[in-house]
Amino acid sequence: MITALCLAAILAIALCAQVFPSFLTRIGGSAGEQGLLLFSMFLLYPASSLAAGIAADRVGKRAVLGAGLSCLAATFALSAAVPDIRVRTLAVLLFGLGEGAVESQATAMLSDLSPARERSMLNWSQLMFSAGAAGGPFLLALLFSLHTGATLAAVLWACSALCAAPALGFALPIGRGRTAPGANSAQPAPEVRGRLTATLRQPGLAVLAVAVFLYVAAEMGTASWLAKYGELELGLGAALAPICISVFWAGLSASRILAASLSARVPDAPLLYGSLVLTLAGQVLAFSVRQPAAALAGIALGGI
């Protein structure tokens, strides 16, 4: 039950991870203000992911995951209650802090709960993040385009409640004693430090870290501005512009399923080179034309 609630909260996190700053469009915010929010959102995320992993080794994943979800619940509530750019900036700083803890520890806990299926659990959790990132903007576009009367504050309050529910669950003793080893328990600090040191000394790790940094910078730098691009360049309007984000993450979700099925039969290098070619082709198509259908096809190809 708690795992299901946590995955539901992941959908809420993904719902606002890219669209949260673009809410400013609906209240007259500038692109500069949106850029400030995007920067603030990811400022604490790397440190949070690292700190969450270290803390989980000492106090257990449940405690860290509950703290991260509580931080996210507070983030959404704060932004809903006080619609001011300074308060929103503080809110997205807290958002990055909570999201780093939740994304890293939710994936780790799912792997602990099914140790014999660690790889499939990793794929499943990442698929859930992608599905939420695709479904969330689509739901927002649907709400606003159908004139349902939904407000930004109502959406944010709903996200706050959806994150608070599993946070409360992790604070209760439900299911303790039936959890797989590692989900609650902490590991000895010297052993953890030894493994971390050995990992950091592996040859080629620095190059891989730079490659991952560049990849994430390209992915999030593109995805974060797709709603604004759809509004200003494709003429979709503020209500439909989040569809561009949904299309991107839907392509990414499909490719994760495909890559998971091919990984046992196809070496990593051809998959990565093929992904590079598709990404470049998608970027050229998406951003060299102003015809919405063709641009959306390119965005989907880039996601794949």
Give the Cα separation of 18 and 245 in Å (integer). 8
pLDDT tens-digit readout, 238-277: 778 888 888 998 898 888 888 877 877 888 888 889 889 9
Kindly report the pTM of this predicted structure: 0.71
What's the CATH number where 162 sits?
1.20.1250.20
The answer to the question of residue 64 being in a domain is: yes
pLDDT at 148: 65
pLDDT tens-digit readout, 174-197: 555 444 444 454 554 556 566 777
Annotate 118-149 with three-state secondary structure: HHHHHHHHHHHHHHHHHHHHHHHHHHHHCCCC
Which ranges in 82-117 belong to alpha helices (H)? 85-113
pLDDT at 24 over 70: no
Give the Cα separation of 178 and 87 in Å (integer). 41
In this structure, the answer to whether residues 67 and 134 fall within a common structural domain is yes
Give the Cα separation of 136 and 12 in Å (integer). 7
Q: Provide the number of structural domains found in the chain.
A: 2
> Could you give the dihedral angle defined by the CA atoms of residues 249, 250, 253 and 259, in that order, rounded to the nearest 10 degrees?
-110
Q: What mean pLDDT do residues 100-119 have?
A: 79
pLDDT at 37 over 90: no
Query: Looking at 187, 217, 236, which one is the last position of a domain?
Result: 187
Query: Looking at 165, 187, 209, which one is the last position of a domain?
Result: 187
Give the Cα separation of 279 and 301 in Å (integer). 7
Question: Two tokens at 238?
Answer: 């503020």
- Report residue 297 CA to chain centroid gap: 22
In this structure, the answer to whether residues 31 and 112 fall within a common structural domain is yes
In this structure, the answer to whether residues 181 and 240 fall within a common structural domain is no
pLDDT tens-digit readout, 224-242: 888 888 988 998 887 788 8
In this structure, the answer to whether residues 163 and 233 fall within a common structural domain is no
In this structure, the answer to whether residues 142 and 286 fall within a common structural domain is no
Q: Give me the count of residues in the chain.
A: 304
In this structure, the answer to whether residues 167 and 272 fall within a common structural domain is no
The answer to the question of residue 60 being in a domain is: yes
Of residues 107 and 55, the one with the higher pLDDT is: 55
pLDDT above 70 covers what percent of the chain?
A: 81
Query: Ramachandran region of residue 187, left (φ > 0), alpha (ψ -120 to 50) or beta?
Result: beta
In this structure, the answer to whether residues 93 and 230 fall within a common structural domain is no
pLDDT at 300: 94
In this structure, the answer to whether residues 125 and 245 fall within a common structural domain is no
In this structure, the answer to whether residues 175 and 239 fall within a common structural domain is no
In this structure, the answer to whether residues 65 and 133 fall within a common structural domain is yes
The answer to the question of residue 212 being in a domain is: no
Phi, psi of 84 (to 5 degrees): -120, 140
pLDDT at 189: 53
The answer to the question of residue 193 being in a domain is: no
Give the CA distances from residue 129 to residues 57, 74, 151, 235, in Å, rounded to whole numbers and listed in that order: 24, 20, 24, 28
The domain in which residue 11 lies consists of 1-187
In this structure, the answer to whether residues 105 and 175 fall within a common structural domain is yes
Contact between 15 and 156 under an 8 Å Cβ cutoff? The reply is: no
In this structure, the answer to whether residues 97 and 145 fall within a common structural domain is yes
Contact between 228 and 241 under an 8 Å Cβ cutoff? The reply is: yes
Give the CA distances from residue 88 to residues 21, 34, 42, 173, 207, in Å, rounded to whole numbers and listed in that order: 9, 10, 14, 34, 36
The answer to the question of residue 111 being in a domain is: yes
Rg from Cα positions in the chain: 20
In 3D space, the residue among 272, 268, 228 whose CA is nearest the CA of residue 34 turns out to be 228
pLDDT tens-digit readout, 136-169: 778 777 777 776 666 778 888 888 888 888 888 8
